[in-house]
Amino acid sequence: EYVTYFQDDYVDDLGWEWESTTSGRASVLLPPPPLPGSGPSELPKSIIHFVGGTVFGSYPQKFYSDLLMPLAEQTSSVVVATNIPVTLNRNPLNHLALSKRIVSSFREAFFDILCDEYGGADALKNVPIVGVGHSLGARLQVVINTNERLYSYALPRAGNVLIGFNNYGAVQSVPGVRTLRKGAADREKYVNDMNRRKYNGERYDDEFDFNNDDYDDDDDDAYLDEVKDFFGLVGQSMKSALTPSDLREGNLEFKPSPDDVWSDVSNGVYGKRIERNLVVQFDRDRICQGARLSRCL
């Protein structure tokens, strides 16, 4: 019910409407169709690739319509909004995997919807593509353009608009990760203690079977309660995506790490590929790092 509610397409009174890709991973905001007999659709002045923040970026046509609709209308652009899944099948902190999915979703929207609407890729070759990201989406736009494989796979960008950029670690950015990390550390300490006792021939009671996918939920329930209070049903999905293996191996940091991202930006890797950037910082956003990003650029 949660997913179905937010997947309905939104149509506004002026004729602009969202068209979803076959996979449902991206939505394209298109202008009203031309009047009969007036010829083909006029080319947009730009193609805006939008990626939103955590949770809200999962349904951008709902949560970001007040931003994207006037942006498209006032700039005579089309918007491709790629959805951020609430979770991935694997560790949801892996932003390389998430960025790859986002790039694939954008390519699907470009070739299946925009090329069909405007007469093929050749007709759009001179239309600039501008990335726009908010919060997590701003970080992902940077990751896409600093990772060599992602950059070569993504369509070339004329520039990026980075709103509320956040490159803090997972503990500071994601509710409940601190609790999960503590639980993982406690489990590691327990395993090391049990191995020491076995080596010394001591008897012990094994509370956990670490070869089983079932695991003790006490610490994770604290995490789930924390996330559910804030995001309701989303918390259940986020918890299920972090597997027992992730918890045992300590995979509780973003990939790439914050240090890796800052290094790529400071060393000019990002700036050489995306020379035009608009960084937007909110005065009351405590986790926005736009000022530091601007200094690095």
**What is the tally of helices (H) and strands (E) in the chain?**
15, 7
pLDDT score recorded for residue 284? 85
Nearest to 81 by CA among 104, 55, 51, 102: 51
Beta-bridge mates of residue 159: 130
pLDDT in tens, 199-211: 666 554 444 343 4
Summarize the confidence of residues 258-282 as an average pLDDT: 94
Q: Which two tokens stand for residue 290?
A: 């736009």
- pLDDT of the residue at 250: 54
For residues 209-227, average pLDDT: 46
Mean pLDDT of the chain: 77
CA neighbours closer than 13 Å in the CB half-sphere of residue 67: 18
Radius of gyration of the chain (CA): 22
**Kind and range of the H or E run holding 2:** helix 2-7
Q: End-to-end alpha-carbon separation of the chain, Å?
A: 43
* Least confident interval from 82-86, 248-252, 275-279: 248-252
Task: Look at the block and give the residue holding tokens 């240090």.
Answer: 259
Q: Work out the pLDDT band at 98, boundaries 50, 70, 90.
A: very high
Q: How far apart, in whole angstroms, are the C-alpha atoms of residue 194 and residue 198?
A: 6
d(C-alpha 108, C-alpha 99), whole Å? 14
H or E element, residue 81: strand 78-82
